[in-house]
A and B are shown apart, each in its own frame.
Chain A
């Protein structure tokens, strides 16, 4: 019997043959903490009798949820974390670099075959780099900071095979929203989702990141794409590492196989208040929106803004809509700045903020009042996610967000 890529990663890091269902104390290659979950992780590290972290070079610290500090409490948390970083000799990206997951990817902190944990549920995004990456809580992270290892139940995998070429203005976000609607909010609980097929092989890194990022929205422990030429090209300038062969065996055992053909896939919108409530955009077209957010770890990269800008053209955003544009990192910010997109968005009436989680944090800024509607390129539309529990959040692609921001209501990007 062959092995899945996830089983191979655990076997590679632990030695021997490790299969789905095994519970292993596995070494951790990288651990990420941010300003929301980090302070508690540090506190737990000390409560566990921690003195020095297992390896400061393997710990990534940054601030993204409340930056620059939006309250005195947030500022105090930042001070606490900076002090820890200085004492433990941990590199701290601090408030200026961007959203944790983007920063981890950009700086080559995740690579094929590695086991990475992050104190944030969207850590599964690093599966785009061929790593096994999963979100954990602060106490688990305290344990990791101390011991450099953690118990894992090695997950079964769902094989999601995607074939076909996308229609114009349809892409990775529409795909993952449609997969979430198909698998359901808990359909992949405790499993890994392995994305494969010719559509994925032809998908550039940003799209792969979008897909893996949202694996958690189906309850998955990880999302993963087997590394190929696109992965190694991305990592070339970010990580000194010779390419390795890493892929599931043809006779690997999967808990489930699902096939998706994207040739007729329409732009998707996840309706309130669950991510698996995705429908073709036509079903909700005409819904008035008060706020449009283009950004987040899911869709805050250059390619996402280029897509939004292409749809926008020379038009202005509707004066009925607040359009909030937030690049996911400083690097992405510079790219869109140099390409003239910032000027284009600002001229069209958008508000451009510095890299951060923005409204998706639901407590920092860009919050919604009761009854308001937000259309967002982020990953969650839970009740209260972006402010009032009586507000409504819809999720979509950057193209749909831009088309809707122009029209003032949810709009099919293929029709503008």
Chain B
């Protein structure tokens, strides 16, 4: 699977520009992903490709169109040094797994990547990188294909339940 490498502070306006926000279909959104900032992405991204980035990926707007556009392009994982909060939640909610890897700096665009999230690692051109463990509840949501599937399984919500992370 191919690595699409990005830098720090990739914002949601770059992932999907404001003028496409009347679109809600992920395949249609994918046609405009990174339009104007990385035009080869929407043309060449294939199912299973992985985005690898620096710090603060997905900063800015709460638009869920951003993770949807990436999902529509075939991306299943985003590996970054850190994520912006709303984007992180939105990704999980639409069934896209954000993975934190402290040293993505040396990973080059176009590399071959295998993500082994259960084993806590990614392998890029034969070299292993550690990723931070994924909390179980995140798997539960992603495996239910997002929060919608998860919410459907819920009979009721126990308000004020608390669990320490």
Query: Are A23's CB and B37's CB within 8 A?
Result: no
Query: Are A24's CB and B160's CB within 8 A?
Result: yes
Partner of B21 from the list A15, A36, A137 (CB cut-off 8 Å) is: A36
User: Does chain A have a CB within 8 A of B127?
Assistant: no
Q: Which of B43-51, B82-90, B103-111 contacts A (4 or more CB under 8 A)?
A: B82-90
Query: Are A43's CB and B24's CB within 8 A?
Result: yes
Query: Are A147's CB and B36's CB within 8 A?
Result: no
- Rounded to whole Å, the gap between the CB of A135 and the closest CB of chain B is 4
User: Does chain B have a CB within 8 A of A166?
Assistant: no
User: Does chain B have a CB within 8 A of A356?
Assistant: no
Which residues in A have their C-beta under 8 angstroms from that of B64? Answer: 37, 40, 137-139
**Cα distance, A364 to B63, chains bound together (Å):** 16
- Rounded to whole Å, the gap between the CB of B59 and the closest CB of chain A is 6
**Cα distance, A121 to B63, chains bound together (Å):** 8
Query: Are A25's CB and B146's CB within 8 A?
Result: no
- Rounded to whole Å, the gap between the CB of B26 and the closest CB of chain A is 11
**Cα distance, A43 to B65, chains bound together (Å):** 13
Query: Are A26's CB and B56's CB within 8 A?
Result: no
Contacts A23-B165, A36-B63, A120-B62; A221 near B85 (Cβ below 8 A): yes
Query: Are A24's CB and B162's CB within 8 A?
Result: yes
User: Does chain B have a CB within 8 A of A256?
Assistant: no
- Rounded to whole Å, the gap between the CB of B70 and the closest CB of chain A is 14
Per-residue CB proximity of A1-41 to B under 8 Å, as 1/0? 00000000000011110100111111100000000110110
User: Does chain B have a CB within 8 A of A223?
Assistant: no
Which residues in A have their C-beta under 8 angstroms from that of B35? Answer: 389
**Cα distance, A363 to B19, chains bound together (Å):** 4
Number of chain B residues whose Cβ lies closer than 8 Å to a Cβ of chain A: 48
Which residues in A have their C-beta under 8 angstroms from that of B59? Answer: 185-186, 219
**Cα distance, A13 to B36, chains bound together (Å):** 45
**Cα distance, A185 to B58, chains bound together (Å):** 11
In the complex formed, the residue of B with least CB distance to A40 is B24
Partner of A186 from the list B19, B20, B82, B151 (CB cut-off 8 Å) is: B82
Which residues in B have their C-beta under 8 angstroms from that of A14? Answer: 159-160, 162
User: Does chain A have a CB within 8 A of B152?
Assistant: yes
Which residues in B have their C-beta under 8 angstroms from that of A71? Answer: 22
**Cα distance, A119 to B63, chains bound together (Å):** 8
Interchain Cβ contacts within 8 Å, total number: 165
Query: Are A37's CB and B62's CB within 8 A?
Result: yes
Query: Are B163's CB and A23's CB within 8 A?
Result: yes
Which residues in B have their C-beta under 8 angstroms from that of A274? Answer: 9
Query: Are A389's CB and B85's CB within 8 A?
Result: no
**Cα distance, A22 to B160, chains bound together (Å):** 11
Query: Are A18's CB and B93's CB within 8 A?
Result: no
User: Does chain A have a CB within 8 A of B11?
Assistant: yes
User: Does chain B have a CB within 8 A of A56?
Assistant: no
Query: Are B36's CB and A44's CB within 8 A?
Result: no
User: Does chain A have a CB within 8 A of B94?
Assistant: yes
User: Does chain A have a CB within 8 A of B118?
Assistant: no
Query: Are B157's CB and A121's CB within 8 A?
Result: no
Quick one: which of B22, B60, B90, B164 has the most chain A CB within 10 A?
Answer: B22
**Cα distance, A44 to B152, chains bound together (Å):** 11
Which residues in B have their C-beta under 8 angstroms from that of A43? Answer: 24
- A376-407 interface (Cβ within 8 A of B): 380, 382-385, 388-390
User: Does chain B have a CB within 8 A of A101?
Assistant: no
User: Does chain A have a CB within 8 A of B14?
Assistant: yes
Which residues in B have their C-beta under 8 angstroms from that of A380? Answer: 11, 13, 60-61
Query: Are B60's CB and A25's CB within 8 A?
Result: no
User: Does chain A have a CB within 8 A of B18?
Assistant: yes
User: Does chain B have a CB within 8 A of A415?
Assistant: no
In the complex formed, the residue of A with least CB distance to B65 is A40
- Rounded to whole Å, the gap between the CB of A273 and the closest CB of chain B is 8
**Cα distance, A13 to B13, chains bound together (Å):** 34
Partner of B56 from the list A13, A186, A361 (CB cut-off 8 Å) is: A186
**Cα distance, A189 to B75, chains bound together (Å):** 24
Query: Are B165's CB and A153's CB within 8 A?
Result: yes
**Cα distance, A221 to B62, chains bound together (Å):** 12
- Rounded to whole Å, the gap between the CB of B139 and the closest CB of chain A is 15
Q: Which residues of B contact A (CB under 8 A)?
A: 9, 11, 13-14, 17-24, 35-37, 55-56, 59-65, 82-86, 89-90, 93-94, 146-148, 151-152, 154, 157-165
